[in-house]
């Protein structure tokens, strides 16, 4: 509507009032965006909470499929869990100087990205680090803010932490503009972030548990199905309207198998058994089916959670499956060894992985490193694809922890070779950064694993001619991106804390410097489009795990070993530290 210049004052005033009413009633996503990088974050604090006018709101209601009796937390006597961390000797002055110099560099990088988020995307999910805008990716509940709370504590940024605590009071976890809620991501980032900050500050800030309970009680609604398996992409508005929901016949394994730690910790802190009951039903199902799958000891990538069937022929420890396996030793730790269920599942998994997935690659120097491939279980044969991905780099840390807590010392060398494999995958790239996915050349058993100088095949030559820049031993790089992922430094950190090997700190420092050099922007850090190219363009997103995980793990690698001691805390798959029962020897 355009007002004529001949209009009088009254119509003009009426137009202004109507415009104000119209725009103040629009849903948040429909508002005209303003230049966030020109505004200080305090102006964002004065805005309306992001979901004030959303149509649907979650309220507690009578369940469609109520539980008659909850499965309680285990009450058996705790079994002593062996110590994980190396007994570090007293540090020399020179070693401390070098370590803290690196630690300060990581903290500086964090403060740069946090400043960019605070000034340009406050109370939004993610900063857009090239444009200075923001993205809503996880229900619009300020994912980066909540995900970063315990990193602020770990880095002793307590003024920023308390400022963030004031902001989270504005987040309403009972409503969202999202039609579906990704329960897994909500669980690990939001619930995990609140619980981690609560445990790390020893319960000093009750608002953290209050908000954790708010979000846990909401997503608990996803379990209200006929078999109590969660609807992982939860149609929450159906539940809010009193309608039935069902678990999916195509549920990602990681999304159903990685809720244990957070829901267990909720029951431990609140004394409410419903949370543990919810995940224990999943654990019982997975344990029962584990020996019956096409690769006994492992679960396929996709689960028919509605019919409780595991028919998918694809098996991996990478994306879509990873954290289910990661949580096996970690849930054992969080339960204080009060049950052997997770020990048995881990034992079965390790048998399958060692016999079917692990392989040594061909490298230029014949290095003794390990990777884990993918499996496809056909009618008569199980085929292994030598594919590796950045997401799989968690495995070295997990096997390292398992070797300690389950007293399997012979597997620590496997863990170290897996960690060294990820370090190698960083070091051989032109940018010093590992790509999202790469395919490797398998070293045949009983043969030398060192590539000869004339070992390039015609396909290698063709790849080089096409400009793919493949390092020796790498057969293909189908996805050359680096998305600011944490898995490699996660395992480097864990292996350093287990072994005390200072060379791992040196590897971490190389990794950090290369990422910082390539990814830094005016507003934060951005994902890299092609790690084969030292001049690679950047992509305009910075996921919350950059601050919650990647920089946290770099910082802890250069910290004193008692900061987030692995004998006192267990870290969830988003690097949020939950306090362990003190049942270790």
Sign, CA dihedral 544-550-555-559, equals: positive
Query: Is 573 a known ligand-binding residue?
Result: yes
Alpha carbons 391 and 186: distance in angstroms, whole number: 19
DSSP string, 469-510: -PPTTEEEEEE--B----HHHHHHHHHHHHH--THHHHHHHH
Catalytically annotated residue among 47, 163, 177, 185: 185
∠ CA 8-9-14, nearest 5°, is 110
CB 580 within 8 A of CB 568: yes
- Cβ atoms of 425 and 388 within 8 Å: the answer is yes
Burial class of residue 13 (count of CB atoms within 10 Å of its CB; 0-12, 13-18, 19+): exposed
- In DSSP notation, 300-351 reads -SEEBTTTTB----EE-SSTTTHHHHHHHHHHHHHTTT--SHHHHHHHHHHH
Both tokens of residue 353?
């992985």
Among 125, 331, 487, 567, the one annotated catalytic: 487
* Catalytic annotation, pick one of 136, 147, 322, 543: 322
Instruction: Count CA atoms closer than 13 A to 190's CA, side-chain side.
Output: 29
Question: Scanning the structure block, which residue is given the tokens 């608002």?
Answer: 207
136 given a catalytic annotation: no
Residue 157 phi/psi, 5-degree rounding, is: -100, 65
Q: What are phi and psi of 332, to 5 degrees?
A: -60, -45
Report H helices in 387-486.
Answer: 394-405, 412-427, 458-465
Rounded distance between C-alpha atoms, residue 218 and residue 7, angstroms: 52
The one catalytic residue in 136, 436, 490, 549 is: 436
Sign of the Cα torsion 444, 447, 452, 454 reads negative
Dist CA 370 CA 169 (whole Å)? 46
Longest dimension (CA), the chain: 92
* Structure tokens given for 443: 């070293």
Task: Tell me whether residue 446 is exposed, middle or buried, using C-beta atoms within 10 angstroms of its C-beta: 0 to 12, 13 to 18, 19 or more.
Answer: exposed
- Is residue 487 annotated as part of the catalytic site, yes or no? yes
Known binding residues for Ca(2+) are: 573
Active site residues: 185, 322, 436, 487
Known binding residues are: 573
């Amino acid at each position: 509507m355009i007002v004529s210049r001949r209009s009088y004052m009254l119509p003009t005033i009426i137009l202004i009032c109507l415009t104000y009413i119209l725009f103040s009633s629009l849903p948040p996503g429909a508002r005209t965006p303003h230049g966030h990088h020109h505004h200080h974050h305090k102006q964002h604090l004065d805005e309306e909470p992001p979901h004030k006018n959303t149509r649907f709101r979650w309220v507690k209601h009578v369940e469609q499929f109520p539980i008659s009796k909850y499965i309680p937390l285990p009450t058996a006597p705790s079994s002593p869990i062996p110590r994980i961390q190396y007994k570090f000797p007293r540090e020399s002055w020179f070693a401390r100087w070098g370590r803290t110099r690196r630690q300060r560099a990581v903290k500086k990088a964090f403060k740069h990205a946090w400043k960019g988020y605070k000034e340009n995307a406050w109370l939004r999910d993610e900063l857009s680090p090239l444009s200075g805008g923001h993205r809503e990716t996880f229900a619009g509940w300020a994912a980066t803010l909540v995900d970063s709370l315990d990193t602020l504590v770990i880095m002793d940024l307590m003024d920023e932490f308390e400022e963030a605590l004031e902001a989270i009071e504005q987040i309403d976890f009972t409503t969202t503009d999202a039609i579906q809620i990704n329960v897994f991501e909500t669980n690990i980032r939001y619930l995990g972030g609140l619980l981690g900050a609560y445990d790390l500050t020893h319960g000093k800030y009750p608002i953290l548990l209050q908000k954790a309970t708010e979000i846990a009680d909401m997503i608990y609604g996803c379990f209200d199905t006929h078999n109590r398996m969660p609807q992982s992409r939860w149609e929450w508005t159906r539940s809010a309207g009193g309608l039935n929901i069902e678990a999916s016949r195509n549920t990602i394994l990681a999304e159903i198998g990685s809720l244990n730690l957070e829901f267990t910790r909720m029951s431990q802190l609140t004394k409410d058994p419903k949370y543990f009951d919810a995940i224990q039903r999943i654990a019982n199902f997975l344990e029962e089916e584990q020996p019956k799958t096409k690769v006994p000891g492992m679960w396929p990538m996709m689960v028919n959670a509605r019919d409780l069937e595991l028919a998918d022929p694809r098996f991996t420890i990478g994306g879509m499956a990873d954290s289910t396996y990661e949580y096996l030793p970690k849930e054992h730790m969080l339960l204080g060894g009060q049950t052997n269920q997770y020990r048995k599942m881990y034992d079965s998994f390790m048998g399958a992985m060692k016999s079917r997935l692990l392989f040594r690659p061909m490298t230029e120097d014949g290095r003794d490193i390990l990777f884990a491939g993918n499996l496809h279980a056909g009618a008569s044969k199980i085929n292994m694809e030598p594919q590796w991905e950045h997401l799989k780099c968690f495995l070295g840390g997990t096997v390292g922890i398992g070797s300690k807590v389950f007293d399997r010392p012979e597997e620590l060398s496997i863990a170290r070779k897996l960690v060294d494999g990820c370090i190698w995958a960083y070091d051989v790239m032109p940018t010093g950064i590992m790509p999202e996915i790469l395919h490797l050349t398998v070293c045949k058993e009983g043969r030398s694993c060192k590539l000869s100088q004339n070992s390039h095949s015609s396909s290698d030559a063709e790849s080089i001619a096409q400009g793919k820049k493949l390092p020796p031993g790498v057969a293909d790089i189908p996805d050359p991106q680096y998305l600011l992922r944490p898995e490699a430094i996660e395992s480097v950190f864990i292996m350093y804390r287990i072994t005390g090997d200072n060379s791992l700190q040196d590897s971490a420092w190389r990794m950090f410097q290369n990422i910082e050099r390539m990814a830094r922007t005016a507003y934060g850090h951005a994902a890299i489009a092609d790690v084969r190219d030292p001049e690679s363009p950047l992509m305009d997103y910075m996921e919350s795990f950059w601050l919650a995980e990647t920089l946290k793990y770099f910082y802890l690698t250069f910290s004193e070993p008692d900061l987030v001691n692995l004998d006192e805390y267990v870290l969830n798959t988003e690097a949020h530290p939950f306090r362990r029962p003190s049942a270790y020897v």
